[in-house]
Structure 1
Amino acid sequence: MDTWKLEAFVKTVDLGSISRAAIALHLAQSALSQHLSNLETKLSVQLLVRTKQGVEPTAAGRVLYRHAQSIIRGVDNAVQEVKSASDGPGGRVSVGLAPYSLAAALAVPLIEAVRTAAPRIVLHVRENFGGILSEAIATGQMDLGVLYTPVPLRAVHVEPIDRERLYLAANAKAGLAATVSFTALTDVGVFLPSRQHSIRLAVDAAFQQQNLFPRLLGEVESMPTLLELIDRGLGATILPLSAFPALDSHPGVRLHELEDPVAEIGLALCTGSHQPLSEQAVVVEGILKGLLADRASMAKAQALHGN
């Protein structure tokens, strides 16, 4: 199967319109339509449904779209590796990082380290929920990721890195003790990530161990917004220690250890088990492991200093 036809199909799905895809591909609309029709004939399935708004993939089309992305990316990587074989590793490497974590703090250092060690590598760094990133790794759309308690998938290899303790961040004027039990937390209103996030599942599980429920004030995904809410005394939050920056610029925020139970969440390095990492991805993996080892203790020291 011609990879160009796959690229045309992917572009059509991405833009949701044959006419817009034809313009992007510098083709006549009739020529693109013929290419797509030939692809459907070759596969003996309908790949696209025409609507008033444009086109949408069928169930078979979504399957082809997922595989086509992996194939196109593999071809691009192969071309880059062949071209740069004598100049060191090069090409695109995609890395997923869990938000609210030590991993998120690694984005800039990782890019800097890769530029120094292997300047021909182009990094694509993405932050998202663990389930979304796990699926991207499983389908070959992403090379590796640092995720919280990733969703178990047969096509994803999980290498545990560390376990992070969860802490309560509250306004200093709340007058809370240095250590707070989950029973006492039922009187404290909290802002938490949505239930799509592994951290929220860990927090809910800790409450449920005591047959309790959090007094949820809202679901907030932005760390700056959470700190602003706490600064203003509008509520508290529960996150891993490494999620909190040095708190010198947030004097109104205090961190408190949680007990009964002690709540923790696992952090893991995930890669696809369906095929080996490319040469450039192996380089990035090594750099990432080194940064994780160096930054774990540093992040804890900075956060405790801020407290």
Structure 2
Amino acid sequence: MGTARSQGFHVAARQHSSPSRAGTADSVPRRDRGVPTAATGSPGNARENPKNRLSPESGALDPGPLGPARGASSAVRPPPPGAGKVLSSSHLSAAATEPFPRPPGPANPHRGNDAERGHAQNGFRAPPRLPPRKETGFMAVGIHHLRTFLMAVDEGSISKAATRLHMAQSAVSRRLAELERHVRQPLLERSAEGVQPTVAGKMFCAKADAAVTAFDDAMRTDMHRVRALRVGYAWSAAGVYTSEILRRWQEVNPDVMVRLKRVDDPAGGLTSGLSDVAIMRTHAQRRNLREELLVMEPRVVAVPAGSALAGRGKICLPDLADYPLVINSFSGTTNLELWQEGRQPVVAVEVDTIDDWQSYIAAGVGIGVTPASTAWMHPHAEISYLPVPDAPPVPVYLVWASNNRHPALHSFIQLARNVVAEVAE
């Protein structure tokens, strides 16, 4: 009894041996001890199981005289490589740390990155990747192309249009070329003197003007409240009438604000969509613009405060021919046509803004002829303004787009007209 128990104890001990005994014959299950090794083909134990004999022809397991078991395939697979091979403890530990091998198969170009493969192994399907978008050959043409075209037509020059738009000349040229490729016909005739619209360009200009104005009007739509009425001007607003117009408007329409906006643009910001109505001192050159004459304004001459001309009460145009002239060629109203041919002054410098215009006059570079409202709107400590009675007056217009739908537009025009009429009386 004691011997049997001790033998049973030894059997159990062999079956639950420590890892140091792994790889010995005792660690292999009893039913697999008769399986021949891959290296020698001899059984792994002294006793040979007749069911595990190798066929001498193919090297496969011999099913024996009774044939394969019921339900088993007649073609018995050979043992996998390394079956019966004795593994050491170092092999077992290395196999435990190796990553799971990827199943063989053709490379999948849409397999994705490592993160996507990780989602797939965890049971999550990564979102499919879209194929790259094919280029159609057509470029996107938007409202900025139309604005650039209209500015080039208004200025008659790509370089001047680039200055107005605060863009590089090459960018303006590229944008115009994109527009012409889109409409598939030339819109501008280019020459050394500048640009001018072709026959197709003139027809396109009217449509582009209407589209830009409609776009600006749509962007300004506010269903909750009436937005401020923007009044743009390039030089000196409405002069002495400006304060009275704003005061009267606030009394009559306190819910709608009028916002004055100075824009370095002869059109007062109408072409660029920055204003609803503009105070201009030149005729509107666009067909979709409406204008109304508000007042005729006299001219004055701006001279340095310390010059000999500053002490005179008034001065005539012929007397100014001997002095160099500072001209605002961008948004001013003075040019050499004011003087008779042969008695015209020399242009000292051309500027683009009223600030530069005043700086050059205050420095003594030259003199300037301007509307009388400049003295009221832009006083300067180093500049004296003198009347020029023989100079032709300057017309002052209210200008607006024909399709502007601001609810307060026409009320403002009517109020400005009434204020000017009352003050003039």
**Structure-2-length-normalised TM-score:** 0.44
Q: Distance in 1 between matches of 2:295 and 2:231?
A: 18
Q: 1:253 to 1:128 in 2, by over 3 A?
A: closer
| SS of residue matched to 2:364 | coil
Shift of 1:197: 3.8
CA radius of gyration, larger in = 2
| Alignment partner, residue 239 of structure 1 | 370
Q: Does 1:264 align with 2:389?
A: no
Q: 1:55 to 1:153 in 2, by over 3 A?
A: closer
Q: Does 1:165 align with 2:298?
A: yes
| Alignment partner, residue 179 of structure 2 | 57
| SS of residue matched to 2:319 | helix
Q: 1:189 to 1:12 in 2, by over 3 A?
A: closer
Shift of 1:207: 0.6
Q: Distance in 2 between matches of 1:52 and 1:233?
A: 42
Aligned partner of 2:348 among 213, 217, 228: 217
Structure 1 vs Structure 2: percent identity of aligned residues?
14
Q: Distance in 1 between matches of 2:362 and 2:332?
A: 25
Aligned partner of 2:314 among 179, 182, 195: 179
Q: Does 1:278 align with 2:406?
A: yes
| Alignment partner, residue 117 of structure 2 | none
| SS of residue matched to 1:267 | strand
Q: Does 1:71 align with 2:217?
A: no
Q: CA RMSD in A?
A: 4.6
Deviation per residue, 1:166-206 (Å, 9 max, x gap) = 11111243222322222221211121111x445124xx222
| Alignment partner, residue 255 of structure 1 | 385
Deviation per residue, 1:220-248 (Å, 9 max, x gap) = 23333333333333321111111124887
Is the contact made by 1:93 and 1:121 (CA closer than 8 Å) also made in structure 2?
yes
Is the contact made by 1:110 and 1:287 (CA closer than 8 Å) also made in structure 2?
no
Aligned partner of 1:90 among 219, 226, 231: 226
- Unaligned residue ranges in structure 1 (runs of 5+): 1-7, 17-50, 298-307
- After superposition, where does 1:1-307 map in structure 2 within 5 Å? 9-10=141-142, 13=145, 56-58=178-180, 60=183, 66-77=209-220, 80=222, 83-84=223-224, 90-91=226-227, 93-102=229-238, 106=242, 117=253, 119=255, 125=261, 127-130=263-266, 132-133=267-268, 136=271, 143-176=276-309, 177-194=312-329, 196-197=330-331, 199-201=333-335, 204-208=336-340, 211-245=342-376, 250=381, 252-259=382-389, 261-272=390-401, 274-275=402-403, 277-286=405-414, 289=417
Q: Distance in 1 between matches of 2:379 and 2:328?
A: 24
Q: Distance in 2 between matches of 1:14 and 1:249?
A: 39
Shift of 1:285: 3.6
Is the contact made by 1:92 and 1:122 (CA closer than 8 Å) also made in structure 2?
yes
Shift of 1:155: 3.1
Q: Distance in 2 between matches of 1:163 and 1:276?
A: 26
- The residue identity in structure 2 corresponding to 1:244 is A
Q: Distance in 1 between matches of 2:331 and 2:379?
A: 28
| SS of residue matched to 1:90 | coil
Shift of 1:267: 0.5
- The residue identity in structure 1 corresponding to 2:234 is A
Shift of 1:148: 0.5
- The residue identity in structure 1 corresponding to 2:365 is L
Q: 1:122 to 1:57 in 2, by over 3 A?
A: farther
- The residue identity in structure 1 corresponding to 2:142 is V
| SS of residue matched to 1:173 | coil
Shift of 1:264: 1.5
Q: Distance in 2 between matches of 1:101 and 1:92?
A: 17
Shift of 1:94: 4.3
Q: 1:111 to 1:193 in 2, by over 3 A?
A: farther
Which structure shows the bigger proportion of residues in helix conformation?
A: 1
Shift of 1:115: 11
Deviation per residue, 1:50-86 (Å, 9 max, x gap) = x999983227497565443333334445x52xx33xx
| SS of residue matched to 1:238 | strand
Is the contact made by 2:277 and 2:400 (CA closer than 8 Å) also made in structure 1?
yes
How many residue pairs are counted as aligned between the two chains?
238
Q: Distance in 2 between matches of 1:55 and 1:111?
A: 48
Which structure shows the bigger proportion of residues in strand conformation?
A: 1
Q: 1:95 to 1:101 in 2, by over 3 A?
A: closer
Is the contact made by 1:96 and 1:128 (CA closer than 8 Å) also made in structure 2?
no
The higher-RCO structure (CA 8 Å, 6+ apart) is 1
Q: Distance in 1 between matches of 2:177 and 2:325?
A: 43
Q: Distance in 1 between matches of 2:406 and 2:147?
A: 29
Deviation per residue, 1:78-116 (Å, 9 max, x gap) = x52xx33xxxx5146443313145469959x85996799
